[in-house]
Amino acid sequence: MEQVVAELNQKIDALAAQVAFLAEEARQQQRRRQEWAELQSDLALVGTELFRLSVQQLDEVESYVQLEDVFRLLKRLMRNTRNLEQMLDQLESLAALGQEINPLTQEAFLSVLTRLDEMERKGYFVFFQGGLDIMDRVVTSFSEEDVRQLGENIVLILQTVKEMTQPEIMHMMRQTAAVIREEEPAGDVSLLQILRQLNDPAVKRGLAKTLTVLRTVSEN
């Protein structure tokens, strides 16, 4: 009898465990059904609101876009899926390239800013502004006919400038300017003093060159 009772107890315990398992499964299924019902309710509300907004937005663009236009656009997008993928790949490549060269561009930009600041401190911009003012005065001072004549004689002008900028000519002009800036001698210069200066070989050479220049000017 004791063995029979023990077996019955084991069966009862097993049955009770099965009943508890089935009850737990039932509770979980009920909870899942409740959650699914709540989700359906929420989705229904969201769908209703989305449909209402869609209808409202479509009403606003109804005069501009027709339904067949939307379908045609969707068809084009579907036909050009590969092209869109290629475009996205190219955009990703450009983005990666931009990230790689970004440090280089920043360094170059800072270098340019440093160089511009140095040029400003040295006065380059002030010099350029003065040069622009000079060019403006030159342009406004010459007529079209003056510019045409300048173009015809530019070779002769450049040759003249080349001759005038020779070292010996510039040295002579510098010395002449220095002499002109010197203070005049005190008192009147007598004729005897002038005659004495004429005996100076340098003065004689200067007079000879001056007379040559005067003769050349007179002949032309």
Q: Are residues 209 and 203 in contact, defined by beta-carbon separation less than 8 angstroms? A: no
pTM for the predicted model, two decimal places: 0.32
Which domain does 8 fall in, by range?
Answer: 2-65
Looking at the structure, do residues 11 and 45 belong to the same domain, yes or no? yes
Give me the helix-helix angle, 81-122 and 124-141, nearest 10°. 90
Q: What is the pLDDT of residue 210?
A: 84
Residues 9 and 39 in one domain: yes
| Blockwise average pLDDT, block size 10, the chain, 220 residues | 77 84 86 87 85 77 71 84 86 82 78 86 84 83 82 85 84 80 66 78 83 82
Euclidean distance between CA atoms 179 and 193, whole angstroms? 18
Instruction: Give the number of domains in the chain.
Output: 3
Give the residue from 65, 92, 115 where a domain finishes: 65
Domain-located, residue 57: yes
Please report whether residue 192 resides in a domain. no
Q: Is residue 205 part of a domain?
A: no
Domain match, 160 and 137 both: no
* Residue 9 and residue 61 share a domain: yes
Residues 18, 61 within the same domain = yes
Number of Cα atoms under 13 Å in the Cβ half of residue 75? 6
Residue 53 near residue 46, CB atoms below 8 Å: no
Answer whether 119's CB lies under 8 Å from 125's CB. Answer: yes
Residue 199 lies in a domain: no
Residue 216: per-residue pLDDT: 83
Q: 88 and 52 in one domain? A: no
In this prediction, residue 185 carries a pLDDT of 59
Residue 150 · residue 157 · CB < 8 Å: yes
Position 186 scores a pLDDT of 55
Residues 154 and 111 in one domain: no
Characterize 153-164 residue by residue with b for buried, 16 or more Cβ atoms within 10 angstroms of its Cβ, and e for exposed: eeeeeeeeeeee
Structure confidence at residue 97 (pLDDT): 80
Examine the domain organization and report whether 57 and 8 are in the same domain. Answer: yes
In a domain, 37, yes or no: yes
Q: State which of 16, 36, 65 marks the end of a domain.
A: 65
Q: Is residue 55 part of a domain?
A: yes
Which two tokens mark 86? 């290629």
Q: Is residue 46 part of a domain?
A: yes
Q: Is residue 85 in some structural domain?
A: yes
If asked whether residues 93 and 120 sit together in one domain, one would say yes
Quote the tokens at residue 58.
Answer: 């479509």
